[in-house]
A = this chain, B = another copy of it.
Amino acid sequence: MREKLYPTNRLEAFSDGVLAVIITIMVLELKVPHEDGMTGLISIAPMLFVYLLSFAFTSIYWINHHHLLRRVEECDHRVLYANLGFLFSISLLPFFTAYVIEKNNDSFSVALYAASMIFTAFCFFLLRLAIARLLRRTDSLNPEDKATERKHILSLALYIAAIPLAHFHPHLALGAITLVTIIWVLPAMGMKKTAMD
């Protein structure tokens, strides 16, 4: 007996809704400083940077999710649950972002922040597997997937490296996390130029 399949449109709409809320409520964690004028603004600069990092992280996952889901038109229960698992993992990001902000980027909170990113990467990997399983039944996996996979492994390595790094130098660990963002955003920009010229 073949299992029932669901069209992915509501899955996409729900995921878009959850990701839109996640990316936006993080701004509620930013607190207006007590000091007036420029002093106040400078005191919250690290907070603003962490917010930018979390926003970029969620954005990149939205693009990857978009990229992944457009290849299937229907999905099974396994994909539904794997997707909910991924949304759960990324829904913790605003909390761990608040953690880092309130603890002023101390070692432990930066390590937690990196660990939460690894957890999200792992859940996204499970979703990727669930989708690949569906694809194997219908069309073949294309070579471009290899390049993306390599990028995912590199990202994961950097997140994992950030945890012990946070113990000695929290800002360097944040730097490693920032590097992941750059790895994803920059080539996308460059690729376009090559494709155009």
Contact = CB atoms under 8 A, between A and B. Distances in A.
Interface of A: 1-3, 6-7, 10, 12-14, 16-25, 27-28, 30, 32, 36-38, 40-41, 52, 55-56, 59, 62-63, 66, 70, 76-78, 80-81, 84, 87-88, 91-92, 94-95, 98-99, 102-103, 106, 108, 112, 185, 188-189, 191-192, 195
A29 to B, nearest CB: 9
Report how many copies the assembly holds. 4
Nearest to A88: B55
A96 to B, nearest CB: 9
A106 B40 CA distance: 13
A81 B40 CA distance: 30
B23 A25 contact: no
Given A52-B88, A55-B91, A59-B88, 4 more contacts: A17-B21, A20-B21, A36-B103, A76-B192
Given A32-B103, A81-B188, A10 B3 contact: no
